[in-house]
Structure 1
Amino acid sequence: MAAPDVDTIIACFRRFIKPFHIDTFTSGEIDTEVRRRNVFHAMEWPERWRSYYFQSALLEHDPLIGALPMMQTAFTWGELRTRRLLSLAGTEALNKVASEGWVDGLVVPLHRAGSHYGLISLVTLNHHITPVEKKHLEAVCVVFHERLRLLVPREGFRVPPAGLTPREIECITLIAGGLSDITAGEQLGIKASTVHEHAERAKMKLQARNRAELVALAVGFGIINR
């Protein structure tokens, strides 16, 4: 909680999870019904897996995300299999993951409202998570996620949140502060019409009906701080 920046908190988290055989992890916000509202505050996946995940559109069929509405607390991949909550596509996805040596994982959901969840996903290398390990990891994941969620908007995203550009995020931030397109444009050195265009594109990417919902989604998903 005292970590002053993103690199420090990720390094601290890595030191804690290393004895649990955690190989990689992600942390962010997700909407199970509107998958394009995906915000990754941390993504420590290998580049090959990151590329595959996005290029194959696996996000739309991710079995772990699909299981969130049915699971009220943290769960392992093994628990999903035991409860038979995996579709055929989900089973195939986890089998592909297993080919990387990732045989188990832990998903820690933080239910916000409706179909919106905070999400921390850990992946183990050749190790199955025990019930005791699960309890320890769940506790620290919650602290990690909330601290990271506060810091990332200040430092910038490594993965564009919901596909938003840095300029679009700047415009949302100024709009959230009550500035008009004209005033926001003056601060950014661009035309008011350009601010309007950035806001409209941001609304489309987040599937927001109006500017009020755009700001609410941006704050709720940890894209901007307010």
Structure 2
Amino acid sequence: MSQYDASAFNTELRRLGSPAACASLFRAAIQPHGLDTFACGEVDLADRDRTVFYIIDWPDAWTRFYVGTGMIDRDPLVDALATRREPFTWADLRADRALARAGGAALDAAAAAGWVDGLVVPLPTVGTRAGLVSMVGHREIADPALRAYLCLIATCLQSYVRTLVAKHGFAMPPMGLTEREIASLRLVARGKSDAAIASELGVAVSTAHEFVEKAKRRLKARTRAEMVATAASFGIIDI
């Protein structure tokens, strides 16, 4: 694979069968350019609870910090997706005088972890939702040809990995859903009743009903049909 050959990257990516293998390939592609780690997923900008991570390649310490402090609710990179449709770097955000103080503090915390620059590739979907791939590293991302290459392979990664996670699992529970709740979701999508779900999962009917109701609440859905549609649109289940 030549240095900036996005087509070759995509061809190799499509041969892989798991998010973990895709993550390894992407990591190998970005590391020679000073990028250390990355994450990809999808977020609902109007409701940050409806966030899914397809891959998290962050160091454990940063993952604990990001999740434990509720950074998703004040992440300047995510905030920027509301107004930015083109890829942007940390430098772009720092130059934006509208950047909130909390956002600046988040960038400072990332810099304290040894990261000098980052590149965010937004992938708008529908409504208030946006996919994204976020990369960070120890060198500035100044070369336009490199930025173009990174944007292309990031787009390839996000679009392909989201087709794999329903089968292989997410980087962290999507929208807080448990494995049993996701299993119940799949069965609802197949038209199963609470009694049939209970039989499939080996639990009481009341327990199966509670699994479904909890999944519906986590997905902020009003009906089971809306719940299934939302879960499928985020790649949580296949239908």
Q: TM-score, normalised by structure 2?
A: 0.90
Instruction: Return the alpha-carbon distance in structure 2 between the equivalents of residues 39 and 29 of structure 1.
Output: 5
Output the aligned Cα RMSD: 1.4
1:167 corresponds in structure 2 to 180
Residue 164 of structure 2 aligns to which amino acid in structure 1?
A: L
Q: How far does residue 10 in structure 1 lie from its aligned partner after superposition?
A: 1.3
Q: Is the 8 A contact 1:25 1:123 kept in 2?
A: yes
Structure 1 residue 127 displacement after superposition: 3.0
Equivalence map 1:30-179=2 (5 Å) = 30-179=43-192
Q: Kindly provide the CA deviation profile for residues 86-128 of structure 1, in whole angstroms up to 9, marking residues without a partner as x.
A: 1111111101111111121111111111111111111112333
SS at 1:54 equivalent: helix
Residue of structure 2 equivalent to 1:223: 236
Report the Cα distance in structure 2 between the residues aligned to 1:88 and 1:172, rounded to whole angstroms.
Answer: 40
Please list every run of 5 or more consecutive structure 2 residues that lacks an aligned counterpart in the other structure. Answer: 1-13
Q: Distance in 2 between matches of 1:57 and 1:158?
A: 17
Give 1:129 deviation, angstroms. Answer: 4.1
Residue 197 of structure 2 corresponds to 184
Equivalent residue letter for 2:93: L
Match of 1:203 in 2: 216
1:160-199 Cα distance to aligned partner (Å, 9 max, x none): 1111100000000111122121222222222222221011
Q: For 2:81, what is the secondary structure of its paired residue?
A: helix
Offset of residue 214 of structure 1 = 1.0
Paired with 2:98 and 2:166, the residues of 1 have a C-alpha distance of 34
Preserved CA contact (<8 Å) 1:6 1:148: yes
Percent identity over the alignment? 41
Q: Note if contact 1:27-1:120 (Cα within 8 Å) is conserved in structure 2.
A: yes
Displacement of 1:131: 2.3
Cα pair 2:19 2:54 within 8 Å, conserved: no
Cα distance between partner residues in 2 of 1:133 and 1:84: 27
Contact 1:103 1:128 survives alignment (8 Å):
no
Partner secondary structure for residue 39 of structure 2: strand
CA contact (8 A) 1:101 1:126 kept: no
1:129-152: per-residue Cα shift (whole Å, max 9, x none)? Answer: 432221100100111111111112
- Which shows bigger deviation, 179-188 or 36-45? 179-188
Structure 2 CA distance, aligned partners of 1:210 and 1:109?
30
Q: Supply the AA of the counterpart residue of 1:177.
A: R
What's the secondary structure of 2:132's corresponding residue? strand
Unaligned runs of 5+ in 1: none
The residue aligned with 1:4 is 17
State which of 9, 18, 24 in structure 1 corresponds to 2:37.
24
Is the Cα–Cα contact under 8 Å of residues 23 and 57 in structure 2 kept in the other structure? no
